[in-house]
Amino acid sequence: MATPEQNRATLERYYEECLNKGNLDVIYEGAVDDHISHGTAPNGRSGVEHLKEWVRLQRAAMPDLHVTVEDWIIEGDKVVSRFTARGTHTGEPYNGQIPARGRKLELPGIVIDEFNEEGKIFESWFSMDGFDLATQLGAFDAPEAP
């Protein structure tokens, strides 16, 4: 059985190697194949492949994405990460809808990850202010005059 400290170490590796450096294969080390993700898609999506694609899309929109964990809360088989995501939207349209305008993003969020006995994440609850994100990326700006 994995210890709470080992679970945190799994997440630290995920944040640093996967989110911050783009090594998407790290996801397979830390999450089960049928991982359930709440908050990265409407009504939750399952599967480690969905999680990998979600991270790929974030990094495709913001190639300099960097996530800093500000606080850890560990209770039994759950680990809470309070983080700040920073990046510059210079890549693909965000969420396929917001075109890149070179805007900087700084946004707080929280994730609760639940681990199984083998120390793999099987369910995650992700919370970030989507309105603030869209505002920072310029989704509500008036269109430029021709």
Measured CA distances, 74 to 10, 11, 68, 113, 140 (Å): 13, 12, 17, 10, 38
- Total-model pTM: 0.90
* Tens digits of residue pLDDT in 112-133: 999 999 999 999 999 999 999 9
- pLDDT at position 6 is 95
Strand intervals (E) in 1-146: 31-38, 45-46, 66-75, 78-88, 104-115, 121-128
Residue 37's Cβ-count burial label (10 Å; 0-12, 13-18, 19+) is buried
| pLDDT for residue 96 is more than 70 | yes
What does the domain layout of the chain look like in residue ranges? 4-136
Name the CATH code of domain 4-136 (choices 3.40.640.10, 3.10.450.50, 3.10.20.440, 2.40.30.10): 3.10.450.50
